[in-house]
Structure 1
Amino acid sequence: MSEDRKPRILIIGAGSMGVLTGYHLSLAGADVTFLIRPHRAKALDNPQMLYCYDDNNLKEYKSYSYITNPLLILGSDYDYIVITLDGASLRNEAGVGLVRTIGDAARGTNTKVVLGSIFFDLHAWFLQLSGLADEQVTNGHLDIHAYSTKALTLPLEAPVDPNLIAKADFAYTDKLGDGFTVDDSSPAVANGFAEIYNASGVSRCTVKPALECAVAINPLFPVFAACELMDWPKFKDIDGEELWSLVVASVREIQELDIHGELGKQAARTMTEAGLAASLAAWEKHMIPLDLQAFNRFHHGEKLKAQGREHLQVCISYGAAEGKPMAALKDLLRRVQEHEVEVAAAQ
């Protein structure tokens, strides 16, 4: 990429992650194109209005283009392709076809991929299916908490302006210090993407060790499963719940899987029920005025429910391959499945 040419970035998906990532990359001077399903075209024909909790202001995002046909990726010269589909969607029949198309487009080129989908050991699966080289692909995730205001109405606390929320397509908060994280699965991909993103001047992308990211993210799924069983209580109230000991045991089982190495085993040894509850409560407090558990109820309890279920099942499968019983995680998943049946029967 020449220094005088804008970075050309294709973002797969224009949900909350895609749009917020595209917005910050556009601020950084990148030429952003979205690959979307045809039914999303009407919405993207209009500027995207973004409400920011952090400064209580509305932003207009219109400096992008879009395509609806995945085959248009072939023969393109994108510098980066950023995938923002959830793990379940990426692994279904349509997603598999898309991964193969991305592989055909990027194989043997200078195009780099940021795999922004979250799923257990997804990087290895993606490399095998796409046929891309290790040095072309790294994992990434959006740390900005963002949601579609058309899909979700959250309880509002001052100083959030409900009138501005009503005008927005998406609302977000970038309070965690890092707006985007890429891991070092491919250092060149990670560092190059972070350099572009950080030119936005308003949000930061950081590069972290891949193992550190996996140990932090993979054990969160039992937490969300338990929150569903408990009807999404505030994290600050969760330590006294009877279910919590099962959750912490499940977290430890995931941390101790061989894929997480010594870092995972160390995390499991130091994990306590009170410690996990305290860290989650601190996260919740930090996100105010965004209601974190109301956000999680929608994001993990509805929108990404299939991803969460499949993630737990795959963790159990990996444990079985290592000769580990995964008794706590199996019990937790059984309870979640039974709860889902009960809820469906009551409706």
Structure 2
Amino acid sequence: MGENPRSRILIIGAGSMGILTGYHLSLAGADVTFLIRPHRAKLLDSPQMLYCYDDNQLKEYKRYSYITDPLLIAGSNYDYVVIALDGVSLRNETGLDLVKTIGDATRGTNTKIVLGSVFFDLRAWFLQVSGLADEQVTNGHLGIHAYSTKAVTLPLETSTDPNLISKADFAYIDKLDDGFTVDDSSPAVANGFAKIYNACGISHCAVKSAPEYAVTINPLFAIFAACELFDWPKFQDIGDEELWGLVVSSVREIQQLGIHGELGRESARITTETGLAASLAAWEKSMLPLDLQAFNRFHHGEKLRAQDREHLQACLSYGAAEGKPMPALKDLLRRVQEHEVVAAQ
């Protein structure tokens, strides 16, 4: 009998999420193609060099192909399309056209979509714009912390190798239990993708319930917003009790939004100032030798700032629709906006 055919996967976007997802899927034996903008083609003509904080080694990633025309998606019969764009890019005018193109190309086919963009209740928007069937799309995100070494230089611990990092296109660390997570909005999509990813043998993809997935991610953006007010200190050093109390109240308000169900309400009941601070400090420690807050300063304080702000505004809008005024989150956003005005002067 012949071997099983290789899974054909299209990844939209070749930033840190796209490249690291593609790398692990390639290790799993998948046939990976990237959809990129034409000006990115020259960069992908050369193998991608990846510095791994986990073992202090440089990896070469070259087993991929790319296309630059979204219209080529049609008729290509991909098993999966993984969207690795940020929420703002996916929802702007260009992104809107792309979503419609994806819908036209994959509607009525067996192609499954992993929506890797992060934004509040984004899947509902994506289904409406794309016109795809509910069972064809699930949410997913990369738990591996990765960044472009050309975009930012992070502080280094003694166990890291600056010479190797200087040769890398991306650096990453896979220290969480799950390198990738999908939710079960579409169980067939989630379980099928996890099975492929897990065949890589060095990273793990988890399948979580949709409420658990959402309640894990959505409250984080209040924390990132507050970190700007604290000027991105180590999590273990956060000390302004009044401001931290406001942050934790904002987290609880987000947890209690209807999209999170009973799990969110229970999470809000057990979230405390000391408990949340301890869990963040543990996250920070687990990421070593990566400097987590330096990473977050770049990733959420610069690169994805617009997405993060819009995410919190969406939380407020959903809260208003549910009759929840969310005063703590409103106050936190007001302070962040005032901070931005002062910083710009």
Letter in 1 for 2:309: R
Counterparts of 1:242 and 1:34 in 2: how far apart (Å)? Answer: 46
Q: Quote the Cα distance in structure 1 between the aligned partners of 2:110 and 2:99.
A: 17
Alignment partners' CA distance in 1, 2:318 and 2:340? 24
How many equivalent residue pairs? Answer: 344
Q: Distance in 1 between the 2:299 and 2:43 partners?
A: 21
Alignment deviations for residues 56-87 of structure 1 (CA, whole Å, 9 cap, x no partner): 10000000000111111112200000001011
Query: In the alignment, which residue of structure 1 is the partner of 2:115?
Result: 115
Tell me the amino acid that sits aligned with residue 29 of structure 1. G
Kindly provide the amino acid, as one letter, of the partner of residue 138 in structure 2.
T
AA partner of residue 185 (structure 2): S
Query: What amino acid is aligned across from residue 218 of structure 2 in structure 1?
Result: N
Q: CA offsets, 1:298-344, max 9 Å, x none? A: 00000000000000101001111111111111111111111111111
Q: 2-side partners of 1:60 and 1:159: how far apart?
A: 21
**By how many angstroms is 1:242 displaced?**
2.9
Quote the Cα distance in structure 2 between the aligned partners of 1:317 and 1:202. 40
Q: What's the CA shift for 1:41?
A: 0.7
CA RMSD, 1 decimal:
1.0
**Residue aligning to 1:193:** 193
CA distance in 2: counterparts of 1:268 and 1:200, whole angstroms: 36
Residue 239 of structure 1: how far off its partner (Å): 4.3
Unaligned runs of 5+ in 2: none
% identical aligned pairs: 80
Partner of 1:35: 35
Corresponding position: 1:64 with 2:41 = no
Aligned to 2:238: 238
Asked if structure 2 preserves the Cα contact closer than 8 Å seen for 1:239 and 1:274, the reply is no
Is the Cα–Cα contact under 8 Å of residues 239 and 277 in structure 1 kept in the other structure? no
Find the aligned partners of 1:110 and 1:239 in 2 and give their Cα distance. 52
**Matching residue's letter, 1:323:** G
Q: In 1, distance between residues paired with 2:179 and 2:172?
A: 11
TM-score by length of 2: 0.98
Aligned position for 1:331: 331
Aligned counterpart, 1:205: 205
Instruction: Give the corresponding residue for 1:214.
Output: 214
Letter in 2 for 1:237: D
Task: Check conservation: 1:36, 1:66, Cα contact below 8 A.
Answer: yes
Report the 3-state secondary structure (helix = DSSP H, G, I; strand = E; otherwise coil) of the residue aligned with 1:242. Answer: helix
Distance of 1:180 and 1:239 partners within structure 2: 32
Conserved in 2, the CA contact under 8 Å of 1:139 and 1:183? yes
Deviation sequence 1:219-256 (CA, Å, 0-9, x none): 00000000011110100011444310110111111111
**Pairs within 5 Å for 1:10-159:** 10-159=10-159
- The 1:160/1:21 distance shift into structure 2, 3 A limit, reads same
- How big is each residue's C-alpha offset from its partner over 1:158-182, in whole Å with a ceiling of 9 and x where there is no partner? 2101100000000000010211011
Mapped to 2, the partners of 1:132 and 1:334 lie a distance apart of 38
- C-alpha separation in 2, matches of 1:60 and 1:238: 38
What is the TM-score with the length of structure 1 in the denominator? 0.98
State how far apart, in whole Å, the 2-side matches of 1:297 and 1:271 are.
24
- In 2, the alpha carbon distance for the partners of 1:194 and 1:8 equals 14
